[in-house]
Amino acid sequence: MKCTTGRGAVLAIAMAVALTGTASCTSSESSEPSGKPTGARKTASAHLPALRSAERATERAASARVRSTTVMGTQLSIRAEGVLGWGEHLTGTATITYTGGTTAETMRDLGVTSMRARYLSDAYYAHLGDAFARKTGGKHWLKYAYKDLEALDGGGVGFADQMRNTTPDESVKLLMDSGDIREVGEETVDGQRTTHYSGTVRVEDVTDTRLKSQLQQAGVTSQTVDIWVDDRNLLVKKVEQGRMATGRLTQTAHYSDYGVKVSVDRPPAADTQDFRDLLSKENGATGDS
């Protein structure tokens, strides 16, 4: 009998985690502002010193709790929550819930509506629950080495880089490439007084070649970026919006508890299945009836 967890399903899981974007964590609750500037309009360059301070502060903090929501057209929508560290290597843990889209439908067909993820320097691990384990030899964790994902027909290209784009300093860098940075005004977000900055970034103007390539591959030509910065120059919230080949991209992330300890252990080897081995078994079963 042909197994129901074939190549497409395994890759769908990999992409679902990749698309968490800041993923690695998720849930948006605060009210949205009107978006109308409250002060005198300044040139974009006038706001760069403040944004540079935010970039440095968030980069130095090196970790935070993150909760976010991500919608990627008709392909996927998720809610996630966890902790993320962005020192020499990106590390973290997250609980990810699939809330809609074709990928979520695939996951539900496999008996998976949420998962736990662990991100290490060389790979990420996905815990998919008992229902999926029964279809994969009883092991609950799937291991995805980044180097293996990048070799999969472009399906996992730059996975580690995509995860790094979820850190708050990356949102600041992206906004700094905008030619129309605006200070919208002071707003209260998650109980904190913040300054709201907004801008539209054309992908052709993005200076980070890694990020620029990722946006181009996704079919994004421009993206609006909004960030809310507190009096310590730390991001409290960010919203990024754009349009992809599969529909509209919207990602909202809330950051808190900067400097939180991020401790990530590799799952037990006895309870871990390498997805390369799983694919080999699945492909070997495709001729069975």
HEC profile of 81-101: EEEEEECCCEEEEEEEEEEEC
Work out the average pLDDT over 52-66. Answer: 95
Q: Tell me: pLDDT of 38 over 50.
A: no
Write down the residue that tokens 């509506």 correspond to: 113
pLDDT per residue as tens digits for the range 176-233: 999 889 999 999 999 999 999 999 998 888 887 877 877 777 677 888 999 999 999 9
Q: What is the length of the chain?
A: 289
pTM score of the predicted model: 0.82
Q: State the chain's mean pLDDT as an integer.
A: 80
Q: Which residues are CB-neighbours of 141 under 8 A, at least 6 positions away?
A: 125, 126, 127, 267, 268, 271, 272, 273
β-pair partners for 249: 72, 242
pLDDT per residue as tens digits for the range 87-126: 888 899 999 898 999 888 887 877 788 989 999 988 989 8
More confident position, 44 or 22: 44
Q: What angle do CA 223, 228, 230 make, to 5 degrees?
A: 155
Neighbour-count burial of 88, counting CB atoms closer than 10 A to its CB (0-12 exposed, 13-18 middle, 19+ buried): exposed
Q: Tell me: pLDDT of 22 over 90.
A: no
Q: Tell me: pLDDT of 59 over 90.
A: yes
Q: What are phi and psi of 246, to 5 degrees?
A: -95, 5
- The full set of domains in the chain, from first to last, is 48-280 (2.50.20.20)
Which DSSP letter does residue 122 get? S
CA–CA separation, 17 and 119 (whole Å): 10
Where does the pLDDT of residue 57 fall: very low under 50, low under 70, confident under 90, or very high at 90 and above?
very high
Q: Are 112 and 132 in contact (CB under 8 A)?
A: yes
Q: What are phi and psi of 3, to 5 degrees?
A: -70, 150
pLDDT per residue as tens digits for the range 143-182: 888 887 777 655 444 566 666 667 898 899 999 999 889 9
Cα–Cα distance list, 111 to 19, 119, 136, 184, 283 (Å): 20, 23, 12, 44, 21
DSSP class per residue in 143-207? EEEHHHHTTSTTTTTTHHHHHHTTSHHHHHHHHHT-SS-EEEEEEEETTEEEEEEEEEEEGGG--
CA–CA separation, 209 and 215 (whole Å): 10
CA–CA separation, 267 and 126 (whole Å): 9
